[in-house]
């Protein structure tokens, strides 16, 4: 079933949520390396960004499945714009002259420690997420056409393994598989409320555009 492209009630909410998750993954999760003792795997050391990036990929699945590739592509570019702006403003804030006082000097050191490398993190993240996200959306859109919208759980699981392989490893994939029931429920809810179930049959899959 195809669907005329029009205004969608929930798209803006999903777009804003996706941007927030992407910002958190780079400015909160990227700065910490954590360790967990997992059964069968032992001690696993990982970046805390793993808590956020899988959610960003789930947004990609939801947007592509309900609204189509073009709407997911727009969300990705909006996320990148927000990341670039945040990284630039972080560097400007750090470069501003510090007010006198030992407390402010310590505060400045903390700012530099937390946000000093934010631009490097953002650039690396944008390159990795750019390739992974667009491949994720492309594979999702094509598999939906090939299967005529059936076997959605298989589409998401297979698609996430492909996308995650480009960005990280076991923990992300496990996270995605465990989140599949919730993703299925959200997509079903949105399709019913939006009366949308877009098939990317005539879609221009170039990643270098924002138009839907």
Residue 97's pLDDT is 92
For the residues 31-45, what does the mean pLDDT come to?
A: 81
- The tens digit of pLDDT for each residue in 110-130 reads 899 888 888 888 898 888 777
Q: Is 43 helix (H, G, I), strand (E, B) or coil?
A: strand
Residue 86 CB contacts under 8 Å (≥ 6 apart), including other chains = 23, 26, 27, 118, 122
Q: Whole-prediction pTM value?
A: 0.79
Name the residue with tokens 């997911």: 72
- The tens digit of pLDDT for each residue in 127-152 reads 877 777 787 778 777 777 777 766 55
For the residues 30-42, what does the mean pLDDT come to?
A: 80
Q: Which of 183 and 148 is assigned the larger pLDDT?
A: 183
Q: Which of 184 and 47 is assigned the larger pLDDT?
A: 184
Per-residue confidence band for 157, with pLDDT thresholds at 50, 70 and 90? low
Angular region, 182: left φ>0, alpha ψ -120 to 50, beta rest = alpha
Residue 166's pLDDT is 46
Name the residue with tokens 């750019």: 130
Which residues share a beta bridge with 36?
A: 44
Q: Which of 24 and 143 is assigned the larger pLDDT?
A: 24
């Amino acid at each position: 079933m195809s669907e005329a492209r029009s205004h969608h009630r929930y798209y803006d909410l999903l777009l804003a949520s996706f941007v927030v998750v992407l910002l958190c993954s780079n400015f909160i999760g990227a700065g910490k390396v954590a360790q967990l003792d997992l059964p069968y795997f032992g001690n696993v050391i990982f970046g805390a960004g793993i808590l956020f990036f899988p959610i960003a990929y789930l947004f990609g699945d939801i947007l592509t499945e309900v609204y189509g590739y073009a709407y997911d592509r727009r969300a990705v570019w909006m996320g990148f714009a927000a990341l670039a702006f945040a990284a630039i403003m972080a560097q400007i804030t750090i470069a501003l002259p510090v007010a006198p006082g030992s407390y402010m000097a310590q505060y400045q050191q903390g700012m530099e420690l937390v946000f000093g490398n934010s631009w490097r993190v953002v650039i690396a993240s944008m390159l990795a997420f750019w390739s992974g996200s667009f491949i994720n959306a492309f594979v999702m859109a094509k598999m939906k056409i090939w299967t005529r919208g059936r076997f959605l759980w298989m589409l998401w699981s297979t698609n996430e393994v492909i996308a995650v392989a480009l960005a990280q490893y076991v923990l992300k994939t496990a996270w995605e598989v465990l989140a599949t029931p919730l993703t299925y429920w959200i997509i079903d809810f949105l399709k019913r409320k939006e009366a949308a179930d877009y098939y990317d049959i005539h879609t221009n899959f170039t990643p270098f555009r924002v138009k839907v």
